[in-house]
């Protein structure tokens, strides 16, 4: 099963708003945080507003914010509302679509799997996704520009890697991968 981008982005908007509970944020801010088109998010925001999950505020100080507490937003409800088709295979929609007919056991197994998926999502709320112990708003800080830094690596490893990238020989390597 694969969720549509629309559903993925809907869940992301809700998570972003839940991580900023005291703020009114703009669609442009959410779009920038995730690298998503403003136009696409406007459609999502409109549907979330119509569903009563978010509040949209117009004007200079306008923006969006959650209307309900995160604990009142159930993931199964959101997914079922945003997914156009929860049928895993074409024969879910019509018995005549299955060439095996009544002897097919695959349909039952896939139906149970889909129901288990929705049942698990039904146990999960937006609050479960954001904490306690979940990510905080700092996950949306822009990535560092320029040189990649990994604090887990020692400076010696970084120097060795840079010498190899320049085509030099490293005393720790066999010398077989030298490029000149």
Q: Sign (positive/negative) of CA torsion 161, 163, 165, 168?
A: negative
- Residue 22: the pLDDT is 82
Indicate whether 40 and 66 sit together in one domain. Answer: yes
Domain carrying residue 154: 145-180
Task: Spell 42-60 as b/e; 16+ CB within 10 A means b.
Answer: eebbeebeebebbebeeee
Indicate whether 151 and 179 sit together in one domain. Answer: yes
Indicate whether 131 and 149 sit together in one domain. Answer: no
Indicate whether 38 and 65 sit together in one domain. Answer: yes
Indicate whether 127 and 158 sit together in one domain. Answer: no
pTM for this structure? 0.68
The per-residue pLDDT for range 84-113, each reduced to its tens digit, is 877 766 666 666 666 666 667 777 788 888
Indicate whether 128 and 179 sit together in one domain. Answer: no
Q: Give a yes or no: residue 38 inside a domain.
A: yes
Q: Give a yes or no: residue 90 inside a domain.
A: no
């Amino acid at each position: 099963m694969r969720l549509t981008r629309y559903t993925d982005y809907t869940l992301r908007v809700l998570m972003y708003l839940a991580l900023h509970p005291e703020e009114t944020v703009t669609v442009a801010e959410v779009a920038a945080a995730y690298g998503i088109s403003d136009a696409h998010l406007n459609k999502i925001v409109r549907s979330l507003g119509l569903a009563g999950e978010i509040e949209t505020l117009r004007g200079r100080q306008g923006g969006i914010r959650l209307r309900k507490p995160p604990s009142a937003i159930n993931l199964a409800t959101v997914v079922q509302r945003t997914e156009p088709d929860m049928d895993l295979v074409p024969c879910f929609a019509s018995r005549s679509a299955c060439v095996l007919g009544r002897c097919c056991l695959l349909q039952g197994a896939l139906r149970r799997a889909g129901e288990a998926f929705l049942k698990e999502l039904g146990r999960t709320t937006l609050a479960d996704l954001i904490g306690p112990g979940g990510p905080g708003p700092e996950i949306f800080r822009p990535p560092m520009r320029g040189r990649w830094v990994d604090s887990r690596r020692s400076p010696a490893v970084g120097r060795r890697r840079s010498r190899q990238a320049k085509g030099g020989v490293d005393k720790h390597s066999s010398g077989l991968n030298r490029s000149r």
